[in-house]
Structure 1
């Protein structure tokens, strides 16, 4: 993909592509059985989406992800946050 494509995304979302790539990389290599990593990813997704994630919602997401034990992607977490 070219730079103009990424600049368009940045201008529409207000989110620097470096942050999106960093989050995608973190998700790709995350250990979803590690509660601390899962919490960090959920908080980062909320921050990028400009959504406040209440503590009880974060707890439910963490419990669901850690207990499920499977890998997740950015879309899965965004869906859980209700985009």
Structure 2
């Protein structure tokens, strides 16, 4: 992919591609049984999405991912953020 493609994404989202790549890298190598890592990823997703994640929402997401064994799914997080 070329730089102009990434520049277009950055201009539309307002999120630097370096942050997107850093998050993707963190997700790729994360241990989703580790509550601390999961919380950090959830906070980063909220920050990038410019959404406030309440402590209750964070707890629900962490419980869903760590305890219930659900796969980390951006669509699920997005739906929870829309509530």
Name which structure has the greater RCO, CA cutoff 8 Å, separation 6+.
Answer: 1
Query: When the two structures are superposed, what TM-score results if normalisation uses the length of structure 2?
Result: 0.88
Instruction: Tell me by how many angstroms 1:51 deviates.
Output: 0.2
CA contact (8 A) 1:32 1:70 kept: no
CA contact (8 A) 1:10 1:17 kept: yes
State the aligned residue count: 83
SS in 2 for 1:52: coil
Q: Where does the alignment leave 5 or more consecutive residues of structure 1 unmatched?
A: none
CA root-mean-square deviation: 1.7
CA contact (8 A) 1:45 1:78 kept: no
CA contact (8 A) 1:23 1:41 kept: yes
Q: Where does the alignment leave 5 or more consecutive residues of structure 2 unmatched?
A: none
